[in-house]
């Protein structure tokens, strides 16, 4: 990930776009541009929570990651695509620290084995908690 002033030219496209990051004080800022049509179509489908319309190849995503506590990150994003919407739209989420392995959700979409693995893991956590009490 390079600095924001070193984006790839439009004729060089990567599947998930060209992301560049820089620090603004204690906040990591990541800008993504130059998204390819297959990626845009994938994330413009109604079943994805990011979907708020059909994205164009002019879409620009700005993300901010900032630690707001010892176990919490504040994640903020702004999506700009004036070919799709009349103005940018934004959101934010607190991200809590997770102990143990993390699984990227899209890789496990429709994978019912994941539901069972997570249920088993939660049962183990509850058993450990009961043993402590």
pLDDT of 2 strictly over 80:
no
- CB neighbours (10 Å) of residue 80? 16
Place of tokens 């695509």: 81
Instruction: Tell me how far apart the terminal alpha carbons of the chain are, to the nearest angstrom.
Output: 46
Lowest mean pLDDT among 15-19, 49-53, 128-132: 49-53
Greatest mean pLDDT range, 10-24, 76-90, 94-108: 76-90
């Amino acid at each position: 990930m390079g600095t924001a002033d070193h984006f790839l030219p439009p004729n060089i496209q990567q599947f998930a776009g060209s992301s560049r990051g820089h620090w603004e004080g204690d906040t990591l800022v990541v800008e993504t541009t130059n998204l390819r049509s297959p990626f845009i179509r994938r994330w413009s489908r109604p079943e994805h929570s990011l979907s708020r319309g059909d994205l164009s190849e002019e879409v620009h995503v700005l993300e901010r990651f900032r630690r707001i506590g010892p176990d919490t990150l504040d994640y903020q994003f702004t999506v700009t695509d004036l070919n799709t919407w009349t103005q940018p739209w934004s959101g934010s989420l607190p991200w809590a620290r997770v102990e143990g392995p993390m699984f990227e959700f899209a890789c496990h979409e429709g994978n019912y084995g994941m539901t069972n693995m997570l249920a088993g893991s939660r049962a183990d956590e509850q058993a450990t908690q009961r043993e402590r009490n």
